[in-house]
Structure 1
Amino acid sequence: MSTRREFISNTGKAMFAGGLVTLAENGDPRMIENKFIHHVYFWLKNADSKEDRAKLLEGLHKLSAVKTIKNFHIGQPADTNRDVIERGYVFSWFCLFENGTDQASYQVDPIHLKFVEDYSHLWSKVIVYDSVDAK
């Protein structure tokens, strides 16, 4: 029977050897590489409506069922206040895809199309930032 320290050490080695942990070129394991990032910001028509806010949040949770989404995050403005910070949006929708092909598939996925059909009447503005690795 191994100790907890030995187990953790051996598990880490196995993950690294198995390719489950990939280090960035600069050796920084925090850097996300070779992924497609899709970040969407939503402004509501009725910004003060708790009902509209709840409906859009419900829709974003439904949208997370798209199979090509590797990871996602639903956010709202943080309680920070500096001149460079945009706080007018209601929700941000961050998705991580393996590649551009998976993101393109997401755009025509029936779940995504249904989301736009069912919830687009709630928003007044949407801004999308798509990004890939800087070369």
Structure 2
Amino acid sequence: METSRRELAAMIALGSAGIALSSTPSPADAGTSPAAPALVHHVFFWLKRPGSQADSEQLIAGLRTLRDIPVIRRLEIGVPASTENRDVVDASYDVSELMFFDSVKDQKTYQDHPIHQEFVKSCEHLWAKVVVYDMATV
């Protein structure tokens, strides 16, 4: 029985390694794959009236208008999830948006775009605090 366990463990390890290697992009493909955006832009909003459903809905509606900006590859909008309460989880924000861009230049184009400028003008009265995390993918 011990031999078959070892053989099974070896087969699992080899199969896992094969899967990992086959799904790893080659250095030549790095940064060119459409599945790998170059920049991730994550914004967290704290409302002036925390917990206000009306303010949250208005902010979410404003964020949805940003989908019309062509350089945004993907946009996700959300609220804190009802996950396990742990010391490392900060669920104090009210609304968050997560965007993916092909380049830093595209993110700058988004910042300057009239739709984004209008969003800020029409919704900034709703938030008390905004925190942005921009990440370059590696």
TM-score range, shorter chain: 0.7 to 0.9
Structure 2 residue aligned with 1:132, among 123, 132, 136?
136
- Other-structure match for 1:24: 25
* Structure showing the higher helix proportion among its residues: 2
Instruction: Write out per-residue CA displacement over residues 35-65 of structure 1, whole angstroms, 9 at most, x where no aligned residue.
Output: 1110000010001221111100110111221
- Other-structure match for 1:29: none
Structure 2: distance between partners of 1:94 and 1:34:
12
Identity of aligned residues (%): 40
Structure 2 residue aligned with 1:101, among 81, 94, 105?
105
TM-score normalised by the chain length of structure 1: 0.74
Question: What stretches of structure 1 move > 3 A for 4+ residues in a row?
Answer: 22-26
- Other-structure match for 2:41: 38
Unaligned runs of 5+ in 1: 1-21, 27-31
Superposed CA RMSD: 1.8
Unaligned runs of 5+ in 2: 1-22, 28-34
Describe the shift of the 1:62–1:92 C-alpha distance in structure 2 as closer, same or farther (beyond 3 A).
same
Maintained 8 Å contact 2:45/2:95: yes
- Indicate whether 1:71 and 2:38 are aligned: no
Structure 1 residue aligned with 2:50, among 47, 51, 65?
47
TM-score normalised by the chain length of structure 2: 0.73
Would you say how many aligned residue pairs link Structure 1 and Structure 2? Answer: 108
